[in-house]
Amino acid sequence: MKRIYADNSASTMVSPRALAAMLPFFSDHYANPSAIHECGGQAKKALELARRQVAASLGAMPSEIFFTSGGTESNNWAIFSAAESGSVRGRHIVSAAAEHKAILKPLERLSERGFEITLLTPDRFGRVTPESLKKAVRDDTILVTMMTANNVVGSFSDVQEYCQIVHAKKALFHTDAVQATGHLPLNVRRLGIDLMSLSAHKFHGPKGVGALFVKIPKLPFPLIDGGGQERGARSGTENVPGVVGLAEALTEAVEDLKKNRLFLTGLRDRLIQLVLAVPTAELTGDPANRLPGHASFVFAGLGHGANLVNCLNDEGISVSSGAACSAASKEGSHVLEAMNLNPDLASNALRISLSRYNTMEEVEYIAEKIGFWVPKLQAENSRRENPRFFSRQNVSSAPSEP
Ligand SMILES: Cc1ncc(COP(=O)(O)O)c(C=O)c1O
């Protein structure tokens, strides 16, 4: 059975072009870029070329790009660095309850260290309204961090408008653009962003490599100290193949952004149309302003979204529930709950995230199987005394939504 992969918000396939660009840096040009010999120089050259490519794709300057191990590190770094540099001016930070855990957890740490954190409640589409942001930002606010696009419901925000509000109070604006990069046009200069996180494995690059954009003249405070790589800001021997793959994947995604967006929007809208014909299906997130390949739903009475994910898995389809779940607890997605969905419904979520490698036939097959399994699971669930996870596979403890 050929599997259909439709969990691209969790991770994507490395594109053949990115892979081809990376391979020589495993086998031929594997030297340490800090070495002063010729081989080291070649690795260093590749690193700096990658930095220029990333900068060009984002409307930034090369000196504003710092390579990291991924979105989680970039988010942690942005938050701790902004807190460190801003703490003389104030100790107030604004964010939202629907952010990724890679934002919420570092903010929890700062709160333990005496920073005041305001977490705004998103609207029904998972987005913070400019009005509520305006009310929350104060003279002692040093940082506002709001994601560009939400990983669970796919809604994207008007980051430019957020920046204007935040800058009026002289605070910094950081955006977790992990889901948006390579899928939506992102020009950091035009948008006015101060700090931006991205992760290669969400746009057909490799895992374990990301970047943080930091608008100059600010330099981020080092989060990882050691040999002084990345201009002293982020120590550790650079992941040259990873960085090369990131840059190539991003360049490719940005070159083809319009074409891919059109193609994916077509697939996504057909999928949404077909799934909404299944009784009880409800779309979550913004019907219009959402990531091109992202479709997310809730279905009342499944027992748990993981039940549907497991049945679809048995049909050869890889999707996710979009909900943090574990075998031991019936926890719904913190994003859906922040959007004020009742906890029962929030735990009955399904996220289908398509890529440019999916086809219309696959989309129709996915929708057909959803239409087949949803009523069966609902009937099974209503018969059970202890409705929970009852599909063939055991649902093991899972980390929060990727
Ligand atoms: C919105 C968002 N932020 C951050 C991350 C973390 O990125 P990474 O997997 O590169 O650490 C993810 C993905 O899991 C994400 O979806």
d(CA 39, ligand 1 centre) in Å? 33
Looking at the structure, do residues 291 and 217 belong to the same domain, yes or no?
A: no
Examine the domain organization and report whether 57 and 195 are in the same domain. yes
Asked if residue 103 has its Cβ within 6 Å of ligand 1, the reply is: no
By percentage, how much of the chain surpasses pLDDT 90?
87
Is pLDDT above 50 for 7?
Answer: yes
Number of structural domains in the chain? 2
Tokens of 85: 């540099």
pLDDT at 106 over 70: yes
- The mean pLDDT of 313-330, rounded to a whole number, is 70
Say yes or no: 250 and 277 in one domain.
Answer: no
Residue 400 pLDDT grade (very low, low, confident, very high; cuts 50, 70, 90): low
Residues 159 and 95 in one domain: yes
Residue 388 lies in a domain: no
pLDDT at residue 242, as a whole number: 98
- Predicted confidence band of residue 402 (pLDDT cuts 50, 70, 90): confident
Averaged pLDDT score across all residues of the chain: 93
> In this structure, are 122 and 227 located in the same domain?
yes
Q: Quick check: 242 and 200 in contact, CB under 8 A?
A: yes
Instruction: Say if ligand 1 is within 6 A of residue 183 CB.
Output: no
CB 153 within 8 A of CB 339: yes
Residue 343: pLDDT band (50, 70, 90) is confident
Q: Are residues 38 and 130 part of one domain?
A: yes
- The yes-or-no verdict on residue 203 having pLDDT over 50 is yes
Mean pLDDT, to the nearest integer, of 359-372?
98
Query: Residue by residue, what is the 3-state secondary structure of 239-270?
Result: CHHHHHHHHHHHHHHHHCHHHHHHHHHHHHHH
For 115, the domain range is 16-255
CATH number at residue 152: 3.40.640.10
Could you tell me if 162 and 263 lie in one domain? no
Give the mean pLDDT of 112-136.
97
CA of 184 to the centre of ligand 1 (A): 16
**Residue 201: which residues within 8 A CB-CB, separation 6 or more?**
11, 12, 70, 207, 208, 209
Rounded Cα gap, residues 150 and 154, in angstroms: 5
Whether 22 and 141 share a structural domain? yes
CATH at 305: 3.90.1150.10
Q: Find the 73 Cα to ligand 1 centroid distance in Å.
A: 9
| Burial category of 177 from C-beta neighbours within 10 Å (exposed 0-12, middle 13-18, buried 19 and up) | buried
SS3 22: helix
Rounded to an integer, what distance in angstroms lies between the CA atom of residue 8 and that of residue 353?
5
Number of Cβ atoms within 10 Å of the Cβ of 337: 18
Does 390 reside within a domain?
Answer: no
Rounded Cα–Cα distance for residues 373 and 389 (Å): 14
86-114: average pLDDT:
96
Segment among 111-125, 237-251, 253-267, 320-334 with least mean pLDDT: 320-334
Q: Could you tell me if 372 and 333 lie in one domain?
A: yes
Same-domain status, 262 and 246: no
Mean pLDDT along residues 58-83: 97
Smallest CA separation from ligand 1 atom 4, residue: 71
Atom of ligand 1 minimally distant from the CA of 402:
14
Q: Among the residues of 60-125, which ranges form H helices?
A: 71-86, 101-112
Output the pTM of the full model.
0.94
Q: What is the mean pLDDT of residues 75-104?
A: 95
